[in-house]
Structure 1
Amino acid sequence: MEQKKSNRLHSLDALRGFDMFFIMGGAGLLGALSQIWSNPVTDWLAIQMQHAEWDGFQHHDIIFPLFLFIAGISFPFSLANKLAKNETKFQIQKDIFRRGIILFLLGILYNNGLNFDFPHMRYMSVLGRIGLAWMFGALIYTDFKQRARLIWIATILVGYYLLIAFVPAPDAPAGASNFSPQGNFAGWIDRILLFGTWAGKYQDPEGILSTIPAIATALLGMQAGRFIKWETDKVTPAKKALYLLLIGIALVIVGQLWGELMPINKKLWSSSFVCFVGGLGFIHIALFYYVIDVLNFKKWSFFFTVIGMNSITIYLAQRIIGFTKASEFFSKGFIAIVPDYLNSFVSSIFYIGVCWYFLYFLYKHKIFLKV
């Protein structure tokens, strides 16, 4: 039985803000530590603030899928609110479709869509993938019962693995692996169907076929949200956090084991990658949920909550508004008087500060961009 009431999950806002923090200058801030004090730890941390070139996983590779996972977590709560208002299934799915399309269009806008240079425009994007993957995941969630949802996740992941593992790109060079940039089937689909420009050489990292396993990422998030929202006397909130943690660890192990057959790869959004980052998503929400919503230890998370309440706003605003110039205006004098090795660190602090106070202004005036 699922809860009839829906209270805001504070840990979800904080986790969303924690995730977005790395895009809002946090990655640059942590990366700059190695310039201040170079040692194996800070040098490793600087590497983690970059994407893996192809196969493999670094911390920066979790930011995008974690955001999609978080979008999935929130859906069972919003669905319950709509059902409480007696909205019909048609109304709910119409709203799901509308949100997915708006996010896709915002992604085009982010990629300079207003230039109207259609032949050279990039049509796929981070927001576009979030919109499409979340949309199809939400439609599956509303159309099918729990067991069928799990079957959908397994079918998507196994089917995608079999397709990539055993169907080479028809134009692959001799000897190219099915998991290589030139030899994978997903890249070939992009090369023959995806017009405009891409973000990659052989395929778009947010391409057509690789969006399908991203649906499983959204569905995994929805499973986490459903479990958190589930109301039962048999499972306390503390036990929920523990079970989420154990599920996360299990998925991480599955992802690593599957990675022996199909490498963990963000650009391919491989099935092993979905399991691995899905497991990390479960672990993240387990920890945030336990500390913030179970232990009620919230004050420390306010900084991240301000970001999380307007995450799409800051993602788009960094593209549109001159935060860099504003931060340079405030930091120029400080940068001039500190040693050169502190320049990047100081610059990152001011950039984060300008962005955060912009979001704080919106937060104080209860201005939130909702899609």
Structure 2
Amino acid sequence: MILVNTPGSWAHIYAPLRHADWHGCTPTDLVFPFFLFATGAAMFFSFARSQYQPQPDVLRGIARRSALLILIGILLNAYPFMTPLSEWRIPGVLQRIGLAYALGALFILYCPGRWRYLLSAALLLGYWWLLQTFGGDSPYSLEHNLVRDVDLAVFGASHLWSGFGIAFDPEGLLSTLPSVVSVVAGFEAARLVGRAPVGVGVVTRLLVIGAAMIGAGMLWNAWFPINKALWTSSYVLFTSGIGWVTLALLMLVLDVWGFRKLGRPLEIYGTNPLFIYIVSIVLARTLWLIELERDNGDTVSLYTWLWEQLLPMASPVNASLTFALVNVALLWWLSLVLYRRGIIIKL
């Protein structure tokens, strides 16, 4: 997310580091579903202590974490608090994580294995039916879709993202429902890994199931386009399948082949992922907030000024990428400091 969210200039970005304009999927469009996938995988290990039972203390913890994620997400949207409360964006990345985490946790704790599969399928099919039935003549277009209609009715246009040129939020309320299946997919992948000996057998199963989900998503794309902004059911299957395949390849390299040291940088980043994500957003917006005066009297943000210092050394697009990579490196260093001191910041 940091690499994607902090280019030196949004006008100079390599294509794989851009989101799809609407339908379709780029490598950048895999980041958020992978985060939800990892959230679901973590549930397999965290809920093991309660033997996957909905005990009162477990449910209280789920409610508290979900509420904190939603609250922090709204405050993060509003930072640096220069817009009136009537224009604060309500949906967002952390808000979706909070809701998907809570709903996914309840899904996992209250539904046995086979029911999880059936209800996941019903949720994806039901979401397709809702958008197709109540979305009008162009149910998957930007201007006319049920996701936007629900958000406009619930939040109002002033509380939604407008990055597409109109009030439409890619982290909408209705489109959060299929994202729950992204969480469940991560849980099921971890369950398969956690209950089988590490080896070629489990890697093969992950690859086969992942490939099947990718194929199903691509096939469904003909009727229900792969679309991150709408979080379509085909997008859920496609990205979850890639998540399973990616996990299989990581296991093959790190566990089966024994190159465990290659995973150390990812392990360090993964100890405090939410905290590092929040810091990255606050840091970037703070740099935009600080203004410097040029020799000619014009002002420029510190963010832009830092990127401009790279221009003599590289083309605009490479300078923009370098700027993002520096951000990644600095925040990895912060993760390393926390990792070495045994500091894990939890909600």
Query: TM-score range with shorter-chain normalisation?
Result: 0.7 to 0.9
Report what 1:190 is aligned to: 151
Report what 2:174 is aligned to: 209
Matched, 1:272 2:234: yes
* Structure 2 contact 178–233 (Cα < 8 Å) conserved: yes
Report what 1:303 is aligned to: 265
Distance 1:324 1:307 in 2: 23
Report what 1:61 is aligned to: 29
Q: Residue type of the partner of 2:339?
A: Y
- For structure 1, list consecutive stretches of 5 or more residues without a partner in the other structure: 1-19, 35-45, 170-175
Report what 1:363 is aligned to: 339
Compared CA separation, residues 188 and 346, structure 1 to 2 (3 A): closer
Matched, 1:238 2:172: no
Distance 2:310 2:147 in 1: 46
CA offset digits 1:166-192 (Å, max 9, x no partner): 2225xxxxxx41111122112111111
Matched, 1:79 2:47: yes
Distance 2:314 2:232 in 1: 44
CA offset digits 1:273-318 (Å, max 9, x no partner): 1111111111111111222233331112222222111111111001
- What SS does the corresponding residue of 1:54 show, helix, strand or coil? coil
In the TM superposition, residue 23 of structure 1 has moved relative to its aligned partner by 4.1
In the TM superposition, residue 339 of structure 1 has moved relative to its aligned partner by 4.8
Report what 1:52 is aligned to: 20
Distance 1:159 1:336 in 2: 50
CA offset digits 1:64-113 (Å, max 9, x no partner): 111001100110111113449xx861211221122111111111121126
Report what 1:179 is aligned to: 140
Compared CA separation, residues 119 and 247, structure 1 to 2 (3 A): same
CA offset digits 1:35-81 (Å, max 9, x no partner): xxxxxxxxxxx211100111111111110111001100110111113
- Of 181, 185, 190 in structure 2, the residue corresponding to residue 225 of structure 1 is 190
Distance 2:321 2:3 in 1: 14
% identical aligned pairs:
29
CA offset digits 1:228-268 (Å, max 9, x no partner): 1114xxx6532111111111110010001001001101111
Distance 1:95 1:188 in 2: 32
- What SS does the corresponding residue of 1:110 show, helix, strand or coil? helix
* Structure 1 contact 71–134 (Cα < 8 Å) conserved: yes
Report what 1:314 is aligned to: 276
- Of 76, 81, 93 in structure 2, the residue corresponding to residue 126 of structure 1 is 93
Compared CA separation, residues 346 and 52, structure 1 to 2 (3 A): closer
Report what 2:65 is aligned to: 99
Distance 1:131 1:55 in 2: 25
Compared CA separation, residues 23 and 147, structure 1 to 2 (3 A): same
- For structure 2, list consecutive stretches of 5 or more residues without a partner in the other structure: 289-301
Matched, 1:167 2:143: no
Compared CA separation, residues 79 and 55, structure 1 to 2 (3 A): same
In the TM superposition, residue 145 of structure 1 has moved relative to its aligned partner by 0.7
* Structure 2 contact 268–336 (Cα < 8 Å) conserved: yes
Report what 2:292 is aligned to: none
Report what 1:354 is aligned to: 330
Compared CA separation, residues 155 and 229, structure 1 to 2 (3 A): same
Matched, 1:90 2:42: no
Compared CA separation, residues 313 and 70, structure 1 to 2 (3 A): same
* Structure 2 contact 272–345 (Cα < 8 Å) conserved: yes
Distance 1:56 1:308 in 2: 28
CA offset digits 1:198-238 (Å, max 9, x no partner): 1142421111111111111111111111111114xxx6532
In the TM superposition, residue 28 of structure 1 has moved relative to its aligned partner by 7.0
Report what 1:22 is aligned to: 3
Distance 2:213 2:126 in 1: 18
* Structure 1 contact 24–352 (Cα < 8 Å) conserved: no
CA RMSD of aligned residues (A): 3.0
Give TM-score, length-normalised by structure 2.
0.84
Distance 1:147 1:134 in 2: 20
- Of 102, 105, 111 in structure 1, the residue corresponding to residue 77 of structure 2 is 111
Distance 2:308 2:239 in 1: 41
Distance 1:333 1:64 in 2: 29
- What SS does the corresponding residue of 2:229 show, helix, strand or coil? coil
- What SS does the corresponding residue of 2:61 show, helix, strand or coil? helix
Number of aligned residue pairs: 327
Compared CA separation, residues 294 and 336, structure 1 to 2 (3 A): same
Distance 2:80 2:167 in 1: 26
Distance 1:257 1:62 in 2: 18
In the TM superposition, residue 152 of structure 1 has moved relative to its aligned partner by 1.2
In the TM superposition, residue 157 of structure 1 has moved relative to its aligned partner by 0.2
Matched, 1:281 2:243: yes
Distance 1:165 1:271 in 2: 12
* Structure 2 contact 104–180 (Cα < 8 Å) conserved: yes
Distance 2:247 2:26 in 1: 19
Give TM-score, length-normalised by structure 1.
0.79
In the TM superposition, residue 320 of structure 1 has moved relative to its aligned partner by 2.2
